[in-house]
Amino acid sequence: MTNENPELKKINEILDKTVRPFMQRDGGDLKLIDLENNVLRISYQGSCGSCPHAKMGTLMAIESALKENYNPDITVKIVD
C-alpha cells in the first residue's frame, strides 16, 4: 500500500503477524481498503474471495486479532 496512513500501517503489521500467514498458505490474502470511525473495510483476495469460510471464520479471526492487538472497538467489514 503506497501512502499508507499510520493506522492502516499498524493494522497491516498486526495482520502480517497473526492472520495473513494462514490466509496466504491457503492461496489467499486480504487488502485493507480504509478505516473510518473504527470500521475497517477489507477486500479478500485470491482463494479467500470465493471461500465460504472467509465470510465467517476468517472475518472473525481478523476482527478478534485487531480487537486484542489494536482497538477493542474496531469492526471489520468485507467489501467487494
- In CATH, what number is assigned to the domain containing residue 63? 3.30.300.130
Given a cut of 70, whether residue 3 has pLDDT beyond it is no
Asked whether residue 54 is assigned to any structural domain, the reply reads yes
Nearest to 64 by CA among 5, 22, 19, 4: 19
Given a cut of 80, whether residue 55 has pLDDT beyond it is no
Q: What is the pLDDT of residue 46?
A: 84
**Confidence at 47, pLDDT banded by 50, 70, 90:** confident
Answer yes or no: are the C-beta atoms of 60 and 77 closer than 8 Å.
no
Total-model pTM:
0.87
Asked whether residue 1 is assigned to any structural domain, the reply reads no
Given a cut of 90, whether residue 34 has pLDDT beyond it is yes
* 51: containing domain: 6-78
Q: For the chain, what is the domain count?
A: 1
**Confidence at 63, pLDDT banded by 50, 70, 90:** very high
Asked whether residue 23 is assigned to any structural domain, the reply reads yes
Q: What is the pLDDT of residue 80?
A: 77
